[in-house]
Structures are given as structure tokens and as C-alpha cells.
């Protein structure tokens, strides 16, 4: 490998494009899984069947939680669980540094959304800003996100919630297999909801999982995922169709036993990235909350342009030329997205905007070749070492469009 970045004419460090995520579905497409899927199809019981129940029991056992309800997506899991918690129409504090789905679940419950700023170390909800927002005693709920799988400061958030009479519910979409104080996520607040979408390290191809120790909430979500109708066809709560198909449950059951290996690997790869880029100025990694174990659904880092020599967007373009896909998650943050400027109005969240302007996520998989990981680090190093020329080249390309 030479020192010339691909964007300046060097040979790309990777011969084929490396995606930002690599779902493990194909690795687990075994004859056993195919047999199970064939059995489901031949039984004609393709939804609401025994496979979903088996997955729910296995996941509850893995998390050490009393109840786990499988649904068709995390977005619908959050939507139904917020309703089941009686939070419809109430004031809810949510982060802005997340996917819009977090706020959308609150919106569909007619909640009044209040965006909280973040902490620049962990990328999670800022405790200081949360405390300021809770001065409004009408706030009924707080919905933190474990950003990239990094557990939030659960104890501090829940203490603030108790003080102000608010309920805490969690968007744990990315945190399956992560721990807070040696306890799996899924056990905090009134409920936590995980995602099984294909971008997640544990996936059921699509799906959502409501974890709770509250029996009534679990029963209400179970009812609501099936239109809210009783067996006698009386609709007792206006629910949705949020059922998980049996085939998705079969995929989830096949992949579930790999979860600990995935999170162990991802933590190891994160360390390797940190070591490989330690000497590069202007790069700082997401800090894991003390006493926590991250699932590292994404590997996020901040690029400080004045020290690194270019912006995160320039780095993204230069890495693309090296056959390395990256994601600028999350830009724009939700409070600056069109729908929410209309719904909530324009506002400023300084740390969220600062991070959104600097964040970049590098490829991170359940199983990753260490040579590939080292090549990605080498690419970042050589792009930084040639930052003036890379910037000129990008500016020239832009001018020629």
C-alpha cells in the first residue's frame, strides 16, 4: 500500500466497496433455518404462531426480563408501548440526535415533543439539559436513546424522573446485548424497545421487541399489535397490525445465539479502530458511559476539521474513493428536519448541532477481517497526511460539476 490517497490517484485500500453494515442473515441461512421456514410455510400458520412465542421466550430469557413482546418494527413497538403506558397527548422529552423514528413514535401518540440536547462525550441525552427541561412540571415522560448501543446514564436519568414525576421509557433500538451496571438493557424504565431491522447486529430481518417487567403493559401491547381486538372481535383499544411474521421470528431465533459473540467482537474491533487512529489529530471516539458495555451497533467518531485538516464530509468523500462506505449519522438531527421544524418550531441545540457537523461512522460488522479494519485505518491516516491536497482535489471536483 502506498501513501497516496485514492482520491489523489493512489490505489484504493480495498478492492471492493465495504458497506457500513453487514447483516449476519446470510451467515445464518443454514439448512436448519431453511427447514424451519419451509415448515412455517407448509403449516399455513405464518403469523401469530408458535415461532414468535418461542422467540419471545428466548429473548426474555437472554435479557433477564419478565416480558418481551415481538412486533413488526421498533417504530411500531415504541408507538404501541407509549400508548399502552397512557402517555398519549402528554409532554415527552426526546433526543434529537437519533433517527426520526424516535420522535415519530411520540408524534403518532400526539405527544408534545420537547427535544433535549446531548452530551458530547457519550452522544447521549445531556443530563444538564434534561434537568433544565424538567423544570416544566407538566413533562410526563422522557424517552432517551442508547445512541449507537451506548447505554445512557440510567441511574441519573431515572433519579431526575422520580424527582419530577416523569415516566422513563427507552428507545433501545441499537442496544440489544448491551449492559448497564452489569444488567442487560431491557430492564430499565417502564419499557425498552429494540429493533430487529437489518442494520442491527442482532436482526430478525425486520422486527421490534418491547421488553418490560410490567405485565399489564406487555398484555396491552400484545392486544394492540393485533388491532386491539379480543377473540370475540370486540375492539377494546384502537390498535394496529404490528404482528411479527413467523418467518422473521425464525430468522431471529437462528441469529439470537450469536449475540454475545457479535458484541464481544464489535467491542474488540472498536478498540482496534481506536488504537489504529490514536495518533491522528482531530479524531475523538464516542466514550462509553462508565459502568456500561456498549453493543457498538455503530462506530461513531468526531472529526475536528481544524486539527484533522478537513471536514467529516470531505473524509466521507475521500474514503468513498478508497471503497469504504461511511454514514454521517445523524445529520440533520431530528429538530432540524422539515417535519419537526413545522411541528415543534425552529430551535437551537448547540451540542447536537456541533456533533452532527462532525460525526462519521466507519464500517463495523459482527465478523470483520482485521486486515480490512487495518486498511480502513491506513486510509484515514493517509487522507489526513495529505489533507491539503485532498481538500484541493475535492474543491476542484465540486467546481467542475
Ligand X SMILES: Cc1ncc(COP(=O)(O)O)c(C=O)c1O
Q: Minimum Å distance from CB 281 to ligand X?
A: 30
State whether residue 175 is helix, strand or coil.
Answer: coil
* CB closer to ligand X out of 173 and 362: 173
- Going residue by residue from 320 to 359, which x/- string records binding to ligand X, judged by CB under 6 A? ----------------------------------------
DSSP per-residue codes, 2-30: -SS-GGGTPPPSSSSPBPS---STGGG--
| Beta pairing, strands 139-142 & 112-116 | unpaired
Which of 102, 336 has the CB closer to ligand X? Answer: 102
Minimum CB separation of residue 148 from ligand X in Å reads 9
Instruction: State the residue for C-alpha cell 475535492.
Output: 394
91-95 sheet: strands from edge to edge? 112-116, 91-95, 139-142, 167-168
Q: Could you say which residues in the range 120-159 bind ligand X, by CB under 6 A?
A: 145
Distance in Å, CB of 143 to ligand X, minimum: 10
Residue 145 or 303 with smaller CB distance to ligand X:
145
Please pick, from the candidates 101, 134, 152, 379, the single residue that binds ligand X as defined by CB under 6 A.
Answer: 101
Q: Which of residues 307-326 bind ligand X (CB under 6 A)?
A: none
- Note whether 75 binds ligand X by CB under 6 A: yes
Q: Which is nearer to ligand X, 107 or 308 (CB)?
A: 107
386 binds ligand X (CB under 6 A): no
Element containing residue 198 per DSSP (H, E): none
- In angstroms, the Cα distances linking 252 to 49, 179, 196, 282, 367 are 14, 20, 8, 39, 18
Nearer to ligand X, 73 or 167 (CB): 73
171 touches ligand X by CB under 6 A: yes
The residue (of 162 and 339) whose beta carbon lies closer to ligand X is 339
297 or 375, CB closer to ligand X? 297
Per CB under 6 A, which region of 70-78, 127-135, 220-228, 269-277 contacts ligand X? 70-78
Closest CB 169 distance from ligand X, rounded Å? 12
Is there a contact between 215 and 68 (Cβ–Cβ < 8 Å)? no
- Regarding 68 and contact with ligand X (CB under 6 A), the answer is no
Q: Are 188 and 57 in contact (CB under 8 A)?
A: no
Task: Choose the binding region for ligand X from 39-47, 48-56, 98-106, 372-380 (rule: CB under 6 A).
Answer: 98-106
* Torsion 74-79-85-91 (CA) sign: positive
Q: Which of 96, 187, 197, 263 binds ligand X (CB under 6 A)?
A: 197
Interface characters, 238-277, with ligand X (x: CB under 6 A): ----------------------------------------
208 is a contact residue toward ligand X (CB under 6 A)? yes
Any long-range contacts for 255-261 (C-beta under 8 Å, 24+ apart)?
255/24, 255/25, 255/28, 255/202, 255/203, 255/204, 256/55, 256/58, 256/59, 256/62, 256/202, 258/24, 258/28, 258/202, 258/366, 259/62, 259/176, 259/177, 259/201, 259/202, 260/177, 261/366
Cα(170)–Cα(142) distance, integer angstroms: 8
Q: Which is nearer to ligand X, 62 or 330 (CB)?
A: 330
Q: Are strands 91-95 and 112-116 parallel, antiparallel or unpaired?
A: parallel
C-alpha torsion angle, residues 269, 275, 279, 280 (rounded to 10) = 10
Is 96 a binder of ligand X (CB under 6 A)?
no
Interface positions with ligand X (CB under 6 A): 73-75, 98-99, 101-102, 145, 171, 173-174, 195, 197, 199, 208
Amino acid at each position: 500500500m502506498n501513501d497516496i490517497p485514492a482520491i489523489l490517484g493512489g490505489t484504493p485500500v480495498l478492492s471492493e466497496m465495504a458497506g457500513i453494515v453487514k447483516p449476519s442473515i446470510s451467515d445464518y441461512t443454514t439448512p436448519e433455518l431453511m427447514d424451519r421456514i419451509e415448515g412455517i410455510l407448509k403449516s399455513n400458520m405464518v403469523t401469530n404462531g408458535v415461532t414468535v412465542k418461542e422467540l419471545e421466550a428466548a429473548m426474555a430469557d437472554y435479557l433477564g426480563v419478565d416480558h418481551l413482546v415481538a412486533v413488526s418494527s421498533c417504530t411500531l413497538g415504541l408507538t404501541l408501548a407509549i400508548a399502552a403506558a397512557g402517555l398519549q397527548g402528554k409532554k415527552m422529552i426526546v433526543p434529537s440526535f437519533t433517527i426520526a423514528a424516535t420522535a415519530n413514535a411520540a408524534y403518532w401518540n400526539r405527544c408534545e415533543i420537547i427535544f433535549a440536547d446531548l452530551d458530547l462525550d457519550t452522544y447521549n441525552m445531556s443530563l444538564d439539559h434534561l434537568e433544565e427541561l424538567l423544570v416544566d412540571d407538566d413533562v410526563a415522560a422522557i424517552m432517551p436513546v442508547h445512541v449507537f448501543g451506548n447505554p445512557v446514564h440510567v441511574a441519573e436519568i431515572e433519579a431526575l424522573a422520580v424527582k419530577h414525576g416523569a415516566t422513563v421509557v427507552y428507545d433501545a433500538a441499537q442496544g440489544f446485548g448491551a449492559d448497564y451496571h452489569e444488567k442487560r438493557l431491557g430492564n430499565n424504565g417502564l419499557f425498552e424497545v429494540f429493533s430487529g431491522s437489518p442494520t442491527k447486529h442482532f436482526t430478525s430481518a425486520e422486527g421490534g421487541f418491547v421488553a418490560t417487567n410490567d405485565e399489564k403493559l406487555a398484555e396491552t401491547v400484545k392486544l394492540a399489535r393485533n388491532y386491539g381486538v379480543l377473540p370475540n372481535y370486540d375492539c377494546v383499544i384502537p390498535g394496529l397490525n404490528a404482528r411479527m411474521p413467523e418467518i422473521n421470528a425464525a430468522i431471529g431465533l437462528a441469529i439470537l445465539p450469536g449475540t454475545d459473540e457479535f458484541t464481544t467482537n464489535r467491542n474488540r474491533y472498536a478498540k482496534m479502530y481506536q488504537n489504529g487512529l490514536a495518533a491522528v489529530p482531530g479524531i475523538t471516539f464516542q466514550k462509553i458511559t462508565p459502568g456500561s458495555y456498549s453493543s457498538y451497533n455503530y462506530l461513531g467518531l468526531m472529526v475536528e476539521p481544524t486539527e484533522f485538516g478537513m471536514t467529516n464530509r470531505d473524509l466521507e468523500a475521500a474514503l468513498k474513493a478508497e471503497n469504504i462506505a461511511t454514514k454521517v449519522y445523524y445529520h440533520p438531527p431530528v429538530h432540524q428536519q422539515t417535519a419537526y421544524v413545522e411541528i415543534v418550531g425552529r430551535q437551537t441545540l448547540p451540542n447536537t448541532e456541533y456533533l452532527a457537523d462532525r460525526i462519521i461512522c466507519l464500517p463495523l460488522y459482527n465478523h470483520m477481517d482485521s486486515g480490512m479494519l487495518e486498511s480502513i485505518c491506513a486510509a484515514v491516516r493517509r487522507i489526513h497526511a495529505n489533507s491539503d491536497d485532498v481538500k484541493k482535489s475535492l474543491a476542484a471536483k465540486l467546481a467542475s460539476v
